[in-house]
A and B are shown apart, each in its own frame.
Chain A
Amino acid sequence: MNIRQNWIKRTIASGSKVRIKRRFIAYCLGLMSVAGVFCTTAQAEYGDIVLNNYSDQAQIRPVIFPHWFHRIRYRCKTCHGDLGFKIKAGGSEINMLKIINGEYCGACHNGKIAWAMENCDLCHSAKPGTPTQAHKSSKQSLISPQPVEKK
């Protein structure tokens, strides 16, 4: 850490603005590659679906829908036939109004079939800023680890 601090001090003391900027960029690049090392070791469960069409704007944690958890209990047809979930992360444009009206997640999370709405944090459990995605999908891991684009 000392080396790093000294280096920053030296850089700031010795340089023009452009030089500091360049060094800062190089420094950031270095840090990013370190972060890369960490990130490759942390990946969520295959099929976890993050929904963040509105959550960040509404300043609430984005939603993680554990797809694997639900498919243990229900066949695909329940959700992708009867309940009209789109086969695309974020595609159904779910919001709380629809849920409270008994659509989408609200068809089950109503206090009868499964626990109800008041457990905000069980659904809204993602790190703020996590983009809408089907986690660990082939598409994600083939191309650079970008989120699956909206809609």
Chain B
Amino acid sequence: MKTTDHIRVLAVSALICVASGSAVFAAENPNRFNRLFTPPEKAVQSIKDDGIHDPQGPAVGVLQEPKQAFAPLEKSISGNYVDWTASLRKQQISPLFDYQDPAKKPQPMDLNIVMEVKGSTPDVVFPHNIHTELLDCSVCHPQVFVPQKGGNQISMAEIMLGQKCGICHGSVAFPVSDCKACHSSKPPAAGGKKAAKKAADKAPKK
């Protein structure tokens, strides 16, 4: 095959690519907003064209559209674009604690764990409260996290690869794009991070 042939072939595939590409976006303004990311109102797809449901299947039209389910719930900036914690607190949802006995209630534990973080990033506050509202201790302890303060080395890389916090945060619970949800200790006003940590440690413990 001659070099010119190669070039021709490449040029043709590039042309096809560009042509069909621009056909797709022909109706869209090239200078539109949100060119490189999907805004929330478009992120929640309808079941018919979400890419995993079989559009020809009989379930389409019967299954609930996520948009409809999420409409009455508190909004957030990522994941399902639902603030699940706020929705629970405001009783917009009341998920059962036991599937057989609707009367059973969880016994949440109030304990905030503050994890110091390097640099200017605010320290992480892990709230046991909401986690024990939803989960059993045995889901996390001791396999995922050893129940000992400072006993767990956690890195952002691990989280993004689906380990530690990332087992849930990034697959079903709010993902890491919501930095401040976790890096939530008060900004160190006076006395630096250490003082802020002490305050956060003290406050919600009861």
How many of chain B's residues have a CB under 8 angstroms from any CB in A? 64
The answer to whether the Cβ of B168 comes within 8 Å of any Cβ in the partner chain is yes
Contacts between chains A and B (CB distance < 8 A), count: 180
User: B residues touching A (Cβ–Cβ < 8 Å)?
Assistant: 1, 5-6, 9-10, 12-14, 16-17, 20-21, 24, 38, 43-45, 49-55, 57-60, 62-64, 66, 69-70, 79-80, 82, 84, 93, 95-99, 106, 133-136, 138-139, 159-162, 166-172, 175-176
Residue among B52, B66, B99 with the highest chain A CB neighbour number at 10 A: B52
Asked whether any CB of chain B lies closer than 8 Å to the CB of A118, the reply is no
A18 within 8 A of B: yes
A42 touches which one: B50, B60, B80 (CB < 8 A)? B50
**B54 cross-chain contacts in A, Cβ below 8 A:** 61, 125-128
10 A-B pairs within 8 Å (CB atoms) are namely A4-B16, A19-B1, A22-B9, A27-B12, A34-B16, A34-B17, A43-B45, A80-B139, A127-B51, A138-B160
Contact B106 A75 (CB under 8 A): yes
Tell whether, in the assembled complex, residue A29 and residue B135 are in contact, meaning their CB atoms are under 8 Å apart: no
Instruction: Say yes or no: A33-B59 contact (C-beta < 8 A), given A26-B10, A127-B52, A138-B166.
Output: no
A45 touches B (CB below 8 Å): yes
Asked if residues A47 and B172 are in contact (CB atoms below 8 Å), the reply is: yes
Distance in angstroms from B63 CB to nearest chain A CB is 7
Q: Given A47-B79, A64-B52, 6 more contacts at CB 8 Å?
A: A50-B52, A66-B63, A72-B93, A81-B139, A125-B63, A139-B171
CA distance A138 to B176 in the complex (A): 8
A112-133: which residues lie under 8 A (CB-CB) from chain B?
113, 121-122, 125-128, 130
Distance to closest chain B CB from A47 (angstroms): 4
Q: Is A71 an interface residue (CB 8 A)?
A: yes
CB distance from B28 to the nearest CB of A (A): 11
With beta carbons under 8 angstroms apart, the residue of A34, A43, A72, A142 that contacts B50 is A43
- How far apart are the CA atoms of A67 and B39 in the complex, in Å? 22
Question: Within 8 Å CB of A134, what residues of B?
Answer: 171-172
Check A31–B1 contact: CB distance below 8 A.
no
Establish whether residues A81 and B53, one from each chain, have CB atoms under 8 Å apart when the complex forms.
no
Is A58 interfacial (CB-CB < 8 Å)? no
Cβ 8 A contact of A121, one of B9, B59, B134, B138: B59
CB distance from B12 to the nearest CB of A (A): 6
- Contact: B95 with A44, CB < 8 Å? no
Q: Which of A56-89 contact B (CB under 8 A)?
A: 61, 64, 66-69, 71-78, 80-83, 87, 89
